[in-house]
């Protein structure tokens, strides 16, 4: 039997009565490190000056995906260690500073590479760097209630799925990445599935419009952003016409992976290369800044717009130290 570690009660030692209001236009950004196992947060207007460690080094095991749930909690896809610690979905609650396990994949069959919420159900993409192929998985009632796991997509065979984006009409966009462990080259198209999870067709063909290894996805209305890992570029697709054009570039390969939008329309891109860089691009694709996070490979990024962040202020996440305590259970 596998020995699972359940990490609970990241409890506050000193809780401030209130958190100072964030500067105008500030979002709260949450980031996981695939390399160090940390979860951090920062104010989007001052990344280096406001970074807070929420889960310390080695508190997570290869977290490769992150999503904000409809309940306001953070859901983390941990890939495990390949032997004693199975891949799982974990939950971090900002209101209580608590980390807990939602569901563990006991047979090492799903290695989370991307996450997206469909109501209270969690859609789970697969990590290409574990050679994990197969359909998108649905974890029903992930935010509470009886859990049930099933395959969500049908048709359109997927090599892996490190990027998911769910549109308002229920259509799902997936980065279907094939990664060669021999050549270290990623390739593949971006695919579309209907609201029932049935394959519709390709949105961007492999190699088209400069696509070289689709990775992270982000959706802003009818505009789909796609990270192209092999050339460090980001593409934008007008979903009303399926026309894809260049949007932005870091100028270096392996520097764009996970993507996340800020409320001002700018776009964050985390580096999977190990550089720890988090790039911020304006709504027209101009590189605005680069945050040297020191986190190595960026596993996931999630953002909370200013009104929601202000609502979190009352719980007192800052203003003092807190005790981080891990409990282990067999």
- Evaluate whether residue 7 is within a structural domain: no
Q: Which two tokens stand for residue 290?
A: 């680069």
Cβ-defined contacts of 71-76 (< 8 Å, 24+): 71/120, 71/143, 71/144, 72/308, 72/312, 73/143, 74/30, 74/39, 74/302, 75/102, 75/115, 75/117, 75/122, 75/142, 76/32, 76/39, 76/300
Asked whether residue 313 carries a pLDDT value surpassing 50, the answer given is no
Choose the weakest-confidence range: 9-13, 20-24, 164-168, 282-286: 9-13
pLDDT tens sequence across 245-298: 999 999 999 999 999 999 999 999 999 999 999 999 999 999 999 999 999 999
Closest by CA position to 85, among listed 19, 160, 4: 4
pTM across the whole model: 0.86
pLDDT band for position 108 (cuts 50, 70, 90): confident
Q: For the chain, what is the domain count?
A: 1
Asked whether residue 27 carries a pLDDT value surpassing 90, the answer given is yes
β partners of residue 52: 41
**According to the model, what pLDDT value does residue 23 have?**
54
**According to the model, what pLDDT value does residue 11 have?**
36
Asked whether residue 175 carries a pLDDT value surpassing 60, the answer given is yes
Query: If you average pLDDT over residues 135-150, what whole number do you get?
Result: 97
Asked whether residue 321 carries a pLDDT value surpassing 90, the answer given is no
Asked whether residue 311 carries a pLDDT value surpassing 90, the answer given is no
Q: How far apart are CA 94 and CA 74, in angstroms?
A: 8
Which residue in the block uniquely carries the two structure tokens 């304006």?
282
- Evaluate whether residue 49 is within a structural domain: no
Which value, in Å, is the radius of gyration of the alpha carbons in the chain?
Answer: 19
Q: How far apart are CA 158 and CA 170, in angstroms?
A: 19
φ, ψ (nearest 5 deg) of residue 312: -75, -20
pLDDT band for position 306 (cuts 50, 70, 90): confident
**Pair 244, 208: CB distance under 8 Å:** yes
CATH classification of the domain holding 200: 2.120.10.30
- Evaluate whether residue 157 is within a structural domain: yes
**According to the model, what pLDDT value does residue 106 have?**
83
Q: Which two tokens stand for residue 224?
A: 């789909």
Closest by CA position to 158, among listed 197, 122, 191, 123: 191
Query: Of residues 25 and 249, which shows the higher confidence score?
Result: 249
Asked whether residue 320 carries a pLDDT value surpassing 80, the answer given is no
Asked whether residue 299 carries a pLDDT value surpassing 60, the answer given is yes
- Evaluate whether residue 173 is within a structural domain: yes
pLDDT band for position 84 (cuts 50, 70, 90): confident
Asked whether residue 33 carries a pLDDT value surpassing 70, the answer given is yes
Asked whether residue 19 carries a pLDDT value surpassing 60, the answer given is no
Query: If you average pLDDT over residues 295-306, what whole number do you get?
Result: 95
- Evaluate whether residue 22 is within a structural domain: no
- Evaluate whether residue 317 is within a structural domain: no
Q: How many CB atoms lie within 10 A of CB 41?
A: 22
Give the range of the structural domain holding residue 185, as residue numbers without chain letter: 67-87+112-304
- Evaluate whether residue 106 is within a structural domain: no
pLDDT tens sequence across 38-59: 999 999 999 999 999 999 999 9
Question: Percentage of the chain with pLDDT > 70?
Answer: 85
Over the chain, what is the mean pLDDT?
Answer: 88
At 33 the three-state DSSP class reads strand
37 contact partners, CB below 8 Å, separation of at least 6: 55, 57, 58, 59, 60, 61, 62, 63
- Evaluate whether residue 205 is within a structural domain: yes
Query: If you average pLDDT over residues 79-86, what whole number do you get?
Result: 89
């Amino acid at each position: 039997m596998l020995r699972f570690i359940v990490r609970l009660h990241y409890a506050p030692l000193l809780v401030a009565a209130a958190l100072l209001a964030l500067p105008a236009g500030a979002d709260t950004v949450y980031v996981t490190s695939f390399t160090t196992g940390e979860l951090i947060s920062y104010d989007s207007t001052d990344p280096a000056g406001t970074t807070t460690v929420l889960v310390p080094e080695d508190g997570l095991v290869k977290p490769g995906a992150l999503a904000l749930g409809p309940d306001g909690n953070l859901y983390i896809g941990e890939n495990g260690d390949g032997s004693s610690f199975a891949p799982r979905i974990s939950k971090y609650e900002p209101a209580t500073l608590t980390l807990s396990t939602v569901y563990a994949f006991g047979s090492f069959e799903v290695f989370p590479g991307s996450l997206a919420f469909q109501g209270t159900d969690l859609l789970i993409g697969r990590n290409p760097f574990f050679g994990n192929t197969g359909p998108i998985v649905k974890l029903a009632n992930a935010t509470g209630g009886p859990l049930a796991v099933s395959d969500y997509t049908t048709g359109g065979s997927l090599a892996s799925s490190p990027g998911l984006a769910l549109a308002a009409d229920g259509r799902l966009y997936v980065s279907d990445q094939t990664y060669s462990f021999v050549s270290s080259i990623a390739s593949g198209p971006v695919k579309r599935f209907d609201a029932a999870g049935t394959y519709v067709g390709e949105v961007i063909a492999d190699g088209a419009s400069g696509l070289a290894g689709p990775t992270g996805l982000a959706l802003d209305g009818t505009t789909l952003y796609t990270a192209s890992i092999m050339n460090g570029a980001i593409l934008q697709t007008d979903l009303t016409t399926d026309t894809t054009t260049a949007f932005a570039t870091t100028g270096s390969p392996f520097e764009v992976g996970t993507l996340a939008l800020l409320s001002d329309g700018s776009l964050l891109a985390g580096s999977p290369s190990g550089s720890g860089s988090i790039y911020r691009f304006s709504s027209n694709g101009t590189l605005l800044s680069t945050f040297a996070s020191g986190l190595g490979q960026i596993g996931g990024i999630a953002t909370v717009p200013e009104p929601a962040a202000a609502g979190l202020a009352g719980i007192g996440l800052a203003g003092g130290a807190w005790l981080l305590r891990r409990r282990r259970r067999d």
